[in-house]
Every structure is written in structure tokens, then in C-alpha cells.
Structure 1
């Protein structure tokens, strides 16, 4: 059977422990190997220095040694150390059987003839012993009488020291790896503690506490930065879920409102149609009244369907003309029409701002669709007539300003916008429709641009239409890159403001 490698750990903690252990083990082995090589090189250099600095015996003594006078050698005893000296006869080239030095241990393995020596003169080399596992360091040198000598030193002390060092390194490596495994578990567990807390917090967020956030958000650590990013992501997800729930709620409310608005005229048409189909005799006046009411409710339903279709078109693929439009001329036409259709509400046209600013009316140019922009102004004027008591003055103001806290285009307390604010300080054209009516409560002002919303809780048409006019106007304003907003307060009237970027 073919053996399989053990699977690598899948957890981050296990991988970190394995990687740290392998890296530290490799570092320890590398350092031990470097120390071993350095020590061996140093000890070997010391031996070579001893060989190089050795002074050989005199030529006379070597001559006596060559003539086989061992008794003279023993009496002189010139080598009271580990050195050994071997002589190769210069005339015959053979190794002399007699050598200088202690004979207690086997000497180096030297060839019998000088021609077989694989050595370079003056360069130390290592040779194995004649028997056993020992080694010798030898050096070849010339003598003054034409002979050659081999100076040798045993490497038993060096080999013994290196062997003990090697075993000590093996034991130290084993102890280091064992201690490292035990210590790395604790260190890694402590280092990953923030991740463990993050994991538990994420589990709580998933199961029972969606509003909970990660506590470790230190920007100076990787885990802290990860916590900040995850908290930001969770906030966005929660906002997205909230917006989705709100969108679903608006959709349900929209469907209910549309059904409610369509049910009333449909019920009226159905009732009068059934009345007209009855066989009993009716007067011409009753028939005309029934036909009139059927036509009136059909027209009402048609207008509502047209508004819904317009909103769908504006939401999906709005098609606006792009031409230069003078807001002042457009407002003047709308004011003239309002004076004819609603004489009970006096409407005037004036400059934007307080007295002393913009003393005269001037051209206010924007780029857009004149018909759609005229529709916004007419919706605002119609809204002012419907939702204010008779004889309530309505003021239309037109001018150029900078988007800001006072002039409009940006958010502030008490101001409610249908879309995102414009950059503060940007040049904008402003058209205001302000009335001196009862105003709106903050709870109603927040929803005034929603579809089918009416401040009248009874949902009666006596105080307004279907609730689509302001939604259409806000959608058109956003499609032109602008914003429709409302400043109001209970008892102080309403100011609807159309803010458009200037070319």
C-alpha cells in the first residue's frame, strides 16, 4: 500500500503553530550547523598551525633514524607530544619503518612509496588511521638532505569535541521543538483571542443580536482594522435591510393606496351603470345625472391612471427635453393661470430673498424640460390652493442664489427634501411657492413627498387629490439634477422650494 501524507491542519491556529515550529526549527538547525562548521574550521586551523610551526629534528638525527638506530631515537626522545614524524628515504623513495613519536595509537595510513603520496607539499590534509575510526592531519615537507618527512597529528580530540557538540545540539533541538510546541499553542491562542471574540460576537449577531457590533476596533492593529471594516459593513447591511423593509412597506402601502383610489370611482361607475340598466322607467334628468356621474368618475380614474403611468415612466426611463428655460417667465405664466382658476387665493410674483436683496426681477435660466418644470409649478400652486383656507395669500419667488442653510438646496432642521442635497455653495436657481396657511406638523412633513400620502387621516378628497402631485413634482426635480424641498412649521405656513443647478 502506498502511504499517504498526514493532512495539514485546517484551522488557522494549527497552521500558525506548524509554520512557527517549522521556521524556528529550521532557524535552530541553521544556527547549530553554522556553529558546528565554524568550530570545526577553527579547531582544524589550530591543528594546521601546529603542523606548520613544527620544527623537524636535525639532519643528523634523521640520518641515524634512516640507518635504523631506534635505540638512539628512544634515548633522545625528541617528541614528548602527539606529533609523529615519518621519513621517506630520498634515494629509494620508500617509507622508513621507524618513526618518531608515541606508538600507542594507530598512525595515519601512508603509502609505502613516496611516489604514491597524494599530497601537496606544505598543504595540510586529512588521512584515515591505519585501523579504527580515527583520523590524522598530516603535512609533507622537505628536509635539507633531500629526504621528505610527513608530520602528523591525531584528530581524536577534535572529533571527540565535535561529536559531543553534535549530540548536545540534537538534544537541544529536541528540547527546543518540544518547548516551542507547548509555548506556541499558548502564544497563538493568546494572539488569536481577538479573533475568537470576533467569532463569538458574529455568532451572536447572526443568531439573536443584529444591533451588536465588534468591540476591537483599534486602528493600529490588523484585527482592529478588520473589526472597523466589519462594523462598517454590518452598518451598511443593516441600513440596506432597513431600506428594503421600508421599500417593501412603501410598496404595500402604494398598492393599498392605489387600490383604494381606484376602488372609489370603480364602485361609483359600477353602481350608476347598474342603475342605468334597470328596466324601470326613469326621468331624463335621472339618466343624465347617472351618465354625468359615470363620466366624472371615469375621468377621475383616468387621471389617476395617467398619474401612475407618468410616475412609472419617470422612474424607469424619463425622457426630458434639454433646452434653456427661463424660470421667471415660467412662473409668471403659472401665476397668471392660477389667478384665473383660483381667484379665492391671491397669488403674487416677486424676487427671491428679503427686502434689500435682488430689488428687481431678472431672467433666471436653467436647462431642462419646460413642460415638466411648468408641471412642477402648477402642482405646487394647486397644492397651495387645495390645502389652505380661502383668501390665503400665496407668494411665488424666483431668483439665483448659492445652495446653503438659508437659501435652500441643503439639509437643516425643519427642512424636508425629496432627494439628496446639493453641494453647499453651488450656484442654483430657486423657485419658491410659499403660503400663509396653517402649515404642517413635522410628522406629516416627513412624508409629504411620498406617493398617495395625504395629511388628512380620513383620506377624504375634500382636502386634496390622490396624493401623487408632489411625488410627481419631486421625481421631475430629481430628474433635472435638482431637488424639491419643504420648509414648514405648524401655524406658520408652507414654503415649497424648487432648487435647480444653473448652467
Structure 2
């Protein structure tokens, strides 16, 4: 097993442990650095005091009469000094004469000949003791007559103070580390408490309670901002799950409705096809009726399949043509296509409420798809209203609002979100003066395969997909298809599209 495998298999430390030990190590390093600096500063100061005492030791100079030289053959320690000072004397010839001063500590290790001294006049130096591990601070000075004096002071007091300070620092460091670890654990546990609560909340959410949210969302802290982000993420995930569930339910309902709609004409075709197999035993009139019903149901099934294919194509985010479109021309063409045979019930074309005259209303879009929406709205109005009910088609430009369209208000329904209020829009609306729709019917009118009157819709070959297709086309043009209706007061289906100004006109 190599080192990388060992590192990979090692148990990782928790965030709490990393913060605790990291803070304790950093704090201990800071305390240790302060202690080391303190010891060095104190030792340097004490050493300076010793050096100052060495310099202040009275010796013969050029400015004072020379002291008589010490007797020859002076044994070491034969003269007693009034302090810890020791004075070693070398005669002008460089021979060591003796040492003045006495004490229990071994003296400094000095040579017998002044020529072997490695000291510089006036510069204190540390030398070892004759025996043991003690040290002395010595300073060389030369008298007027060539006599060499080496003034010495023991460093036992300085070394002892330094040693005691080191032991004291070691105890303080140990106590500090222990206290830091204990305090760090408490502080880290307190600081990470919101994170621990987030962990418990996340665990409860995964256990089956998706409505729970994180309560700590203080924007002044990192954990609070994390809580806000997590709550936003949870809301979006929950919304996405709901939309997915709703989409799956719509898909299942769509497939079920499509199968139901296709089953009826298929059953009819199958029944009459079997009947035509007995053509030899049927009267000519029955044979003709069977053939007519087969053709009618085949056409109805073909229309339904075409609508399904179109709706599936539109749901796949199609690319719409973007070219100048005149809604007034589209409305006029839709009326012309639906008017033959209607006579006095032909729809009337006029301006929006509050406008004086009809004017071209240009926007950007796909003219074929927008014409499909106009045809659908007009066909529905003609198919689902009494023969004496008047139908009006209005076209114009306005601004979005509760009275003009594009936004929500009581009595108005749409499958698309409202547009911003007060923006310039162009409108094509189809109004009938029929019985209108109830609130329940209006809430479902844009759903796929929904019919207000199923029997009459089938008589007219409708599949219940027309308004769903029109809504999808309006959404693809960044617009909105909506319904204003009240029972007994008729209905108004309104196509609202953004008004694009400055369109280069390509309409003859």
C-alpha cells in the first residue's frame, strides 16, 4: 500500500475539528512567538546590563594616575572583590599574573598568555567557565603601562532567570493550548449551530417533508446567505417537481383524451366498413349512407391527427417567422373566408372601443400562424353561438390594462401569464353576442380536448384543440390569448401582441 492509498483511505476530519485544531494551532503559534520574542528581549536587556557593569568597572586610564601593578606571582583568588566581579591581570610582557575575586562558581576559561586572548578591547564577549556549563561575560582593557586587565562577570543569574522564564513560558503555553482547545470547541460549536440546524432540516426534507425551510437567513453572515440560497434552491426544485408532475398529468390526460377521441371515429369506420362487406345484401341507399359516414369519420380523424401533430410541433419550441404582419389584413381575410353563405350574419370588422377609424396594425410575427389564430376564433364564434347572434371583429393598437386587455381582472381568463401593465400592444378581438360562458367553462376553455358542448362540437368536426393551438401560437409570439365573458352577455376572445415600432413596411 503506497502513501497515496493511505492518504485516500484516511478518515477525513470534520469541519468542526479542522476549525478547532486550526484555531488552536494558530493561537498557540502566536503565543509561542510572543514568548520567544519576550525571552530574547529580556535576555538581550539583561546582557546589556551586564555589559554596562563591565564598562563601569574602574580601571586605570590615561586620565587617572596609574594604580601600582599587582604583586608578581599573585595566586588566583588571593584578593577578594566586593562583588561577583573577577579581574584577571596580564603584565606588559603578556604573562598572566593572577585573578582578583572569589566565589563558589568556577572562573572563566582564560589563557595563560595575553597573546592567546581573542578578545577585543572594549567589546564584551561570552566565554565558558573552567568547568561545568556556566558562562562568563568578559571584557578586555589595556592599561597605560601595557598591563592587560580582563574584567569578568558570571552569567549564572542571567541564565537562571532565562531558564525560569522558559519553564514558566512552557507551563503557560501548555495551559493556553488546553484552554484554547476547550474555548475553540465551544466557539466553533456555537458558530456552526446554524449549519447543524441546516443539516437536520435537510435530513428531514429528504425523509419526506419537502415543505420545510431553513429559518436562519441572516444576510450579514455567510451561513445566513447560504440558508437564503438553499431556500431559493428548494423552492425552485419543489416548483420544478410540481411542474413536472403537472406536465406528466397533462400528458397522461392528453394521451387518454386523444385515445378517446380517436376511438370514436375508428369504431364508426370499423362498423360501417363491416357493413359494406355485406354490400350485396344492402339497399343502395344504405350503401351510400355507409360510405358517407365512413368518409365523414375518416375526415374527422384526419383533422384530429393533423391537430395533434401541429400541437406537438408547436410544443417543441418552433421557430416562427419574423416579418411585418398587418393584423387588419389578417382579420379581413379571415372574415372573407368565413362569410360565404352567412349573408346577414357575416362578421363585422371595426376598430377597438374608443377608436374612430380602422388603421393598419403592424407587428412582427408569422403571418400564417397568426391567420390560423384568427380563423380559429372566428370559426368558434360562428359554430357555438345562435344564428341570430351578431359577431364583431375589432383590430387596433392600445396599451395593456384591465380595460383594454393583456392583464388580469375579474371575469377574464387566460392560460398565459399577464403582460406588464401600460405597455403598447396591438389587439385582434372577436366578440359574439351569444349566451356567453360560465366561470367554470371559461376556466377550462383553453384546455386541450375541452368542449363546452361536446355533441355540437362533434357535429361541426371540432377536436377541442383549436384554442390550445391558438394559445401556443400566442405564447410563441410573446403575446397572450384571453377571454372576457359573462353568462348572457356574450364572449370576447382577444389576441394581444407586443407592438413593435419602427417596422419597415413590406405590406402593399
Q: TM-score, normalised by structure 1?
A: 0.90
1:160-309 matched pairs, under 5 angstroms: 160-278=160-278, 281-309=281-309
Give secondary structure in 2 for the equivalent of 1:131. coil
Q: Distance in 2 between matches of 1:451 and 1:327?
A: 26
* Per-residue CA distance 1:262-313 (angstroms, 9 max, x = gap): 1111111000011111265211111001000000000101111111122222
Any unmatched runs of 5+ in structure 1? none
Q: 1:94 aligns to what?
A: 95
Q: Give the conservation status (yes or no) of the 8 Å contact 1:344–1:391.
A: no
Q: Does 1:466 align with 2:469?
A: no
CA shift for structure 1 position 37 = 1.1
Deviates more, 1:451-460 or 1:110-119: 451-460
Q: Distance in 2 between matches of 1:403 and 1:314?
A: 26
In the alignment, which of 444, 448, 453 is matched to residue 445 of structure 2?
448
Q: Does 1:65 align with 2:70?
A: yes
Q: Does 1:26 align with 2:29?
A: yes
Q: 2:17 aligns to what?
A: 14
Give secondary structure in 2 for the equivalent of 1:318. coil
Q: TM-score, normalised by structure 2?
A: 0.90
Q: Give the conservation status (yes or no) of the 8 Å contact 2:77–2:99.
A: no
Give secondary structure in 2 for the equivalent of 1:226. helix
Q: Give the conservation status (yes or no) of the 8 Å contact 1:346–1:392.
A: no
Q: 1:400 aligns to what?
A: 397
Deviates more, 1:112-121 or 1:211-220: 112-121
CA shift for structure 1 position 322 = 3.8
CA shift for structure 1 position 450 = 2.5
Give secondary structure in 1 for the equivalent of 2:329. helix
Give secondary structure in 1 for the equivalent of 2:34. helix
Cα pair distance change 1:489/1:160, threshold 3 Å:
farther
CA shift for structure 1 position 45 = 1.2
In the alignment, which of 45, 49, 54 is matched to residue 46 of structure 1?
49
Q: Give the conservation status (yes or no) of the 8 Å contact 1:342–1:385.
A: no
Give secondary structure in 2 for the equivalent of 1:136. strand
The runs of at least 4 aligned residues of structure 1 exceeding 6 Å deviation read: 1-6, 58-61, 70-73, 457-460
Q: 1:313 aligns to what?
A: 313
Deviates more, 1:406-415 or 1:291-300: 406-415
Give secondary structure in 2 for the equivalent of 1:258. helix
Q: Number of aligned pairs?
A: 495
Q: 2:505 aligns to what?
A: none
CA shift for structure 1 position 226 = 0.9
Q: Alignment RMSD, CA only?
A: 2.8
Any unmatched runs of 5+ in structure 2? 501-508
Give secondary structure in 1 for the equivalent of 2:218. coil
In the alignment, which of 73, 80, 83 is matched to residue 82 of structure 2?
80
Q: 2:504 aligns to what?
A: none
